[in-house]
């Protein structure tokens, strides 16, 4: 490289850094968007809405929720991965961010997206999934459910958020542990899954306690077991699947991300905003109303959590093989 070209490169790099610094100082100066890769009513949606209101208050800009459901969350997450690196498009993701790339590899498909296309900002919650049925069903316990599914393989159905989505994987972990064959009925979001069960279109679903808290309180749904290491504090009478001899856990976390490559100054501004918002009364009250405790992890700790969760889920899914 000659001296003239080197000088141009130095000037160009300095200009780019100056622009980034200037942008970071004024950021944000226009409305922002949080992509929720599911239809309204699911875990990521009910977490993103109160959080976005609290973030809007401390950032001074309106934040729009953009629900992009479909393919177990893959459509919305793929869109977020390709967003501009300016901090104006964020993503509220679930563990399907991990399971979908693993499933693409197991199935021999071209990857829809990769986890390393995202920069973690913070984890907000981490709830175990629970097996729910309608209260008028004959199933009073997980033992009842397992007995009937084994007696009628391929007839009892369950709803999920889509192939290799979080609730699909949670149910298949139980099915694998208990040797069950059920009919998988995918939907594009948590609200639709729950409504399908309430309407009698499916027989069961796997959700977080918070997502179905209203239906439980109204006496419309019954929880048979939790996919947790220990009993859920808000559901002390509900046994874990492991207690009943069916080993397997699945925690449905929610986390905020931006596309990888977003400038550090903007990432740090968002980290501060999300951390402040996670302690805001508006967000905490909303989560308490859903029986969902805030389990905040800042960016660095969240990265370590994702690495460990990826190892665990990769082992589980690889041992199960392709699921449909």
CATH of the domain at 171: 3.40.190.10
Q: Which of 209, 226, 243 is the last residue of a domain?
A: 226
Give residue 23's pLDDT.
62
Residues 6+ away with beta carbon under 8 Å from 201: 159, 185
Residues 284 and 306 in one domain: yes
Residues 97 and 120 in one domain: yes
Cα separation values, 188 from 53, 67, 70, 92, Å? 24, 10, 5, 15
Spatial contact of 251 and 293, defined as CB atoms under 8 Å apart: no
Question: Is 60 a domain residue?
Answer: yes
Tokens, residue 281: 């009364």
Question: Is 186 a domain residue?
Answer: yes
As for how many domains the chain has, the answer is: 2
Range of the domain at 201: 130-226
CA angle 264, 268, 272 (to 5 degrees): 170
Cα separation values, 88 from 24, 29, 32, 276, Å? 12, 10, 5, 18
What single-letter DSSP state applies at residue 55?
A: H
Per-residue pLDDT of the chain (324 residues; tens, 9 = 90+): 444 555 454 445 445 445 555 566 799 999 999 999 998 988 899 999 999 999 999 999 999 999 999 888 999 999 999 999 999 999 999 999 999 999 999 999 999 999 999 999 999 999 999 999 999 999 999 999 999 999 999 999 999 988 888 899 999 999 999 999 999 999 877 789 999 999 999 999 999 988 898 899 999 999 999 999 999 988 999 999 999 999 888 999 999 999 999 999 999 999 999 999 999 999 999 999 888 889 999 999 999 999 999 998 998 888 878 876
Report the alpha-carbon distance of residue 185 to residue 31 in Å, rounded: 37
Residues 294 and 309 in one domain: yes
pTM to 2 decimal places: 0.81
Question: Is 232 a domain residue?
Answer: no
Give residue 319's pLDDT.
82
Residues 106 and 155 in one domain: no
Residues 149 and 189 in one domain: yes
Residues 32 and 113 in one domain: yes
Element (H, E) at 310: helix 299-320
Question: Is 239 a domain residue?
Answer: no
Residues 72 and 11 in one domain: yes
* 273-286 pLDDT per residue, tens: 999 999 999 999 99
* 21-32 pLDDT per residue, tens: 556 679 999 999
Q: Which of 189, 211, 226 is the last residue of a domain?
A: 226
CATH of the domain at 60: 3.40.190.150
The whole-chain average pLDDT of the chain stands at 91
Question: Is 248 a domain residue?
Answer: no
Tokens, residue 275: 């951390």
Question: Is 244 a domain residue?
Answer: no
Question: Is 175 a domain residue?
Answer: yes
């Amino acid at each position: 490289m000659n001296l003239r070209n080197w000088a141009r490169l130095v000037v160009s790099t300095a200009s780019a850094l100056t622009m980034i610094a200037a942008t970071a100082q004024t950021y944000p100066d226009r409305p922002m968007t949080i992509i929720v890769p599911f239809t309204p009513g699911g875990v990521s949606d009910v977490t993103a809405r109160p959080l976005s209101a609290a973030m809007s208050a401390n950032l001074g800009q309106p934040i729009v929720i953009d629900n992009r459901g479909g393919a177990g969350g893959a459509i919305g997450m793929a869109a977020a991965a390709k967003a501009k690196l300016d901090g104006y498009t964020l993503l509220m993701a679930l563990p399907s961010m991990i399971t979908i790339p693993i499933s693409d590899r197991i199935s021999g498909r071209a990857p829809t997206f990769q986890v390393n296309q995202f920069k973690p900002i913070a984890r907000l919650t981490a709830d175990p999934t629970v097996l729910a049925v309608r209260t008028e069903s004959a199933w009073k316990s997980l033992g009842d459910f397992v007995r009937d599914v084994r007696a009628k393989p391929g007839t009892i159905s369950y709803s999920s958020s889509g192939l290799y989505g979080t609730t699909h994987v949670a149910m298949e972990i139980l099915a694998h542990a208990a040797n069950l064959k059920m009919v998988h009925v995918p939907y594009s979001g948590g609200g639709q899954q729950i409504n399908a069960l309430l309407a009698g279109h499916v027989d069961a679903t796997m959700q977080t306690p918070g997502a179905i808290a209203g239906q439980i309180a109204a006496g419309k749904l019954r929880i048979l077991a939790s996919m947790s290491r220990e009993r859920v504090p808000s559901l002390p009478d509900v046994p874990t699947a492991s207690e009943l001899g069916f080993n397997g856990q699945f925690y449905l976390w929610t986390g905020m991300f931006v596309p990888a490559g977003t400038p550090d100054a903007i990432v740090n501004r968002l980290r501060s905003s999300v951390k402040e918002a996670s302690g805001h009364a508006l967000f905490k009250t909303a989560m308490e109303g859903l029986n969902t405790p805030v389990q905040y992890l800042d960016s660095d700790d969240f990265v370590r959590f994702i690495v460990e969760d990826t190892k665990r889920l990769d082992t589980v899914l690889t041992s199960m093989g392709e699921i449909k």
